[in-house]
Amino acid sequence: MRWWLFLLGWLFAIVAQAKQQIAVQKFDKKNHKIFELLADRVDAQNHIVTASGHAILLNYDVYILADKAIYDTQKKEAILEGHVKIYRGEGLLVRAEHIKVKLNEKYELIFPFYVQDSVSGMWISADIAHAKQNQYYIKNLTASGCSIDNPIWHVNATSGRFNADKSHLSLWNPKIYLGNIPILYLPYVFTSTSTKRSSGLLYPEFGTSNLAGFIYLQPLYIAPRDSWDMTLTPQIRSKRGLGLNFDFRMINSHQDKFIFNMRYFRNYNHYTELYHLRNQNVFGFETLSASRQAFQKYFGLKSKLDNAYYLDFLYMNDLDYVRFEKVNQRITDATHMSRGNYYIQTNNHYYGLNLKYFLNLNKINNDRTFQSLPSLQYHKYLAPLGWKHLLYSLDYQFHDIVREVGYGYVQNTIQIPLGMQFSLFKKYLSVGLWNNINLSNVVIGNTKNSYVPNIPGVSKVYGNYFSSAYTLYLNTDLAREYNKLLHTVQLEAVLQGTYYNFANGLFNDQMYVLSAQARNDFTSNTLSDYDYRGQIYDSVWNPSAIIERNPSSRQLSLNLTQYLYGINGQELFYWRIAQSMDFDDKISLLRMPMETKLGFSPLKGLNIYGTLFYSWYYNSLDEVSINANYNYKFLVANISYYLKSNFNDNGINKIVENNSNYLKAGFSNDFRWFSLTGSIGYDISKNVILNWDVGIFKKIRCFGIGLKFVNRRRPVLTDNPNDPLKIYENSYIKLELDFSPITKTNLTYRRLKQ
């Protein structure tokens, strides 16, 4: 009987406790709970409900934790005190000591104020904030991405606004502090702590240089629709000039991407004159677009015909167009090839349209640069001709080569390989015997100021070329497995030669001789015009650039390639050796160097590879390239060596002394307490260090600081036609500061030498 009394008392205690924990509940018309107040202890007097001890207020998807909650059932108003935290989902929205919530008007008054973004870790603290519908208007605020207890860096602002829905933060009169030291003041800053696409100001890039002055780039991101967006980035370089970058990105309903970028910068007059810059106004644009199955997407073609287009075009009038993309972008190449193509193909046929535009900023201009606008191609894929071992294919190409100054030309070429391919000795040996027919026709134009040799009875307008050659292939491909290793060997011998050759007009044998003589004997009054025998020409006909004169009749090429694979197909070792012999070379059978390629991975993360060319004719190395890369955990290291010999039959020992001989090395590693990076380039033949840099960097959660010492050779376009590209030795010290997650900046001191 006693156990019944004990059980009954226990049930009453549970019910009583539950009544104390659940103070107020509210349901909507669909009987969904929209409001609930719980606590360890609940007291009610008239229309005032006081909940204390782990008070919890639930409202839709928002829940609030506090030490104490006082709720007015008539006014539908709640006051929460002591360690107040407001959550939405799993993210912390607000932390405070006192909150007043009017549930019917969705109105809040918070004192003091604290809000933190759960994704980036960015937090905002203020003395007082006035909020309405997730818009917080803040006075005397502090913000940082560091720990709130002792932030390494922080921002103080007189006022601000935070949009909790869009994660937008606006600050007026912000000052950035490193510890207690102010390092930067800005009148206004707008930033986003969200990873979602939304219009607004992006994190700025800024730095300082003794040559360019204070550098500031402020991106404005505009995303009106999910299908496209753009970025406007005004920039100022206080000692150099002003500019604007424009980036546009779009993806259409067919999931095809389109990118268009444009850039403009104007150098100040004194800066242009000081460094003799070729262009005071730097500008350019670039576009990138591609699409597969375009006919099906845009013209409703029902067939599965394979077709696609690709466009990558860049135009710029100065190398600085690339530099102005960021605070200081490095330039590694002053040449660029823009291209566009469209193709249609089936299993047997290929049709293509190609455009190529070459840009070389090492020249004063590109008026004399050949451009391929356009080229057409038809290709018949390899197919049997009546018998499965008798094969043929056909390739036709049309080229329209133009330029503003100098001759251009139109070229038609046809290549027809016809041959037999079969295997012997149970497929251990593959044999191929081919006949290759080549036809080419060229018509030149714009020759009014071009020098074309005058040969009696030989056309100066067109030229024809025809050749027929044979090729004999012998190759074998062997493989064998050894426990956990796989070894493959490929052997190949190729014998080829031209047995018939015909040329006339522009490809007449005398054309090669006289045009070469004119190019070698001209005197130049300007950088670009040719003065030949008292007459000025803007170009000299060069048939060798189109078709090689007297191609070799008989050549034998021998190749040996080996691979060694480990577990899961990992390549452990490869070796290739190749030698070509020219039987019609009157000087030496082995004038062409022997090529050797080697690569292996003796340790995990270590890759060693290289190429070696050895000349038997000169009994010397012709070219050597050796590279070693190592990656392990946070360590990245590399070293490379390059040698190129310049041979001359008239020189002593047939070798010219000014060989190319370079050594490069670099590494980076995180040593836990700090990170270290470095690289160096060394010209061995001249005993000169070309480029070097060394940097040390430390990242402490929300803040990073780095110091970098750099020496670079910097190309600059000048207004001097005789020296259009001047190289400066650019030495500088750069201090890098990383304020996560807001922005990175750097302070640079430069010293330029000629």
DSSP letters, 15-83, are HHHHHHHEEEEEE-TTS-EEEEEE-SEEEEETTEEEEEEEEEEEETTEEEEEEEEEEETTTTEEEEEEE
* Structural Rg of the chain based on CA atoms: 37
Task: Express each pLDDT in 79-120 by its tens digit.
Answer: 888 888 877 666 666 777 777 776 654 445 565 667 776 666
Q: What is the pLDDT of residue 291?
A: 93
Residue 148 has pLDDT above 90, yes or no: no
Which residues make Cβ contacts (< 8 Å) with residue 304, sequence separation at least 6? 296
Task: Express each pLDDT in 602-647 by its tens digit.
Answer: 888 899 999 999 999 888 888 999 999 999 988 999 999 999 888 7
What mean pLDDT is reported for the chain? Answer: 83
Percent residues over pLDDT 70 in the chain:
84
Helices (H) and strands (E) in the chain, counts: 5, 49
Q: Choose the weakest-confidence range: 211-220, 236-245, 277-286, 741-750.
A: 741-750
Give the rounded distance of the alpha carbon of 634 from its chain centre.
Answer: 22
**Cβ density class 394-424: b for 16+ within 10 Å, e for less:** bbebebbbbbebbbbbebebeebbebebeee
Rounded Cα gap, residues 200 and 90, in angstroms: 26
Q: Is the CB of residue 357 less than 8 Å from the CB of residue 338?
A: yes
Q: What is the pLDDT of residue 635?
A: 92
Q: What is the pLDDT of residue 60?
A: 65
Q: What is the pLDDT of residue 650?
A: 61
What average pLDDT does range 60-76 have in this prediction? 82
What average pLDDT does range 180-189 have in this prediction? 80
Task: Express each pLDDT in 306-341 by its tens digit.
Answer: 999 999 999 999 888 988 888 767 666 778 899 999
Q: What is the pLDDT of residue 103?
A: 65
Residue 18 has pLDDT above 70, yes or no: no
Whole-number Cα distances in Å, 21 to 34, 81, 580: 17, 18, 92
Residue 38 has pLDDT above 90, yes or no: no
Residue 497 has pLDDT above 50, yes or no: yes
Q: Choose the weakest-confidence range: 215-224, 432-441, 464-473.
A: 215-224
User: Measured in Å, how far apart are the chain's first and last C-alpha atoms?
Assistant: 106
Q: Choose the weakest-confidence range: 225-239, 256-270, 452-466, 511-525.
A: 511-525
Task: Express each pLDDT in 556-571 by its tens digit.
Answer: 999 999 999 987 778 8
Q: What is the pLDDT of residue 348?
A: 94
In total, the chain counts a number of residues equal to 754
DSSP-assigned beta bridge partners for residue 718 = 277
Residue 741 has pLDDT above 70, yes or no: no
What average pLDDT does range 508-516 have in this prediction? 90
What average pLDDT does range 12-22 have in this prediction? 46
- Higher confidence at residue 213 or residue 7? 213
Q: What is the pLDDT of residue 9?
A: 43
Q: Choose the weakest-confidence range: 63-77, 201-215, 373-387.
A: 201-215
- Higher confidence at residue 263 or residue 743? 263
What average pLDDT does range 274-281 have in this prediction? 90
Q: What is the pLDDT of residue 92?
A: 67
Q: Choose the weakest-confidence range: 214-218, 437-441, 731-735.
A: 731-735
Provide the pLDDT confidence category of residue 384 given band limits of 50, 70 and 90: very high
Residue 720 has pLDDT above 70, yes or no: yes
Residue 19 has pLDDT above 50, yes or no: no
Which residues make Cβ contacts (< 8 Å) with residue 273, sequence separation at least 6? none
Percent residues over pLDDT 90 in the chain:
37
Q: For Cα atoms 683, 689, 693, give the angle at the middle one, nearest 5 degrees.
A: 130
The pTM is what? 0.72
Rounded Cα gap, residues 316 and 189, in angstroms: 32
- Higher confidence at residue 567 or residue 479? 479
What average pLDDT does range 534-547 have in this prediction? 86
Q: What is the pLDDT of residue 716?
A: 78
Q: Biggest alpha carbon distance in the chain? A: 135
Whole-number Cα distances in Å, 287 to 70, 246, 370: 62, 12, 21
Whole-number Cα distances in Å, 146 to 111, 136, 155, 735, 738: 22, 21, 11, 21, 12
